[in-house]
Structure 1
Amino acid sequence: MIALYLGIALLLVVAAFFVLLAIRRHAPADADNQLHRSAQRSFYRQRQAELAADRDAGLIEDNQYQELVRELDRQLVVESATEVPSKQRVGQRSLIVILAMALPLLAILLYGQLGYHLDLQLRSLQREIVEQGIDEARWQRYQDLVADILARRPESGEHLVMMATLFRQQGDFAGALPYYQRLEALYPNDADVLAQLAQARYLLNGRQVDEQTQALLNRAFAINPQQATALGVLGIDAFAAGRYSEALKYWQSLLQVLPPNSAEAGVIAGGIAESKRLAMADGELEGLAVIVTVNADLGPTPAGVLFVVAKSADGSPMPVAAMRLPLSAASEQKWPVTVYLTDSDVIRQGKVLADFPELVVSAHISLAGTAIRRAGDWLAEPVSLKADAEASAIALTINAIQAAK
Structure 2
Amino acid sequence: MTIFWLLAAALIVVTMAGLLPPLLRASRAPQRADTDTAADLYRGQLDELEADLRAGTVAPEHRREARDEVGRRLLDDAASLEAASPARSSAASRPSPLLAALLLALIPSAAIVLYLHLGNPIALWQAADPDHAHEVTGAPSAAQIEGMVNQLAQRLRSEPDDPEGWVMLARSYAALERPGDAAMAFAKAVTLSPDEPALRADYADVLASVEGGVLNGLALAQIQRALALDPDQPKALALSASAAMERGDTQEALRQWQHLHRLLPPDSQTAARVAANIAQIGTQAAPDKAGPQPLPAEAITGRVRLADQLPRTPAANETVFVYARAAEGPRIPLAVMKRRAGELPFSFTLDDSLAMRPDHRLSGAGRVIVEARISPSGQAMPAEGDLIGSAGPIEAGARDLRIVIDGVVEARPTQLPSASR
TM-score using structure 2 length: 0.41
| Between structures 1 and 2, the one with greater helix share | 1
Structure with the larger RCO, 1 or 2 (CA within 8 Å, 6+ apart): 2
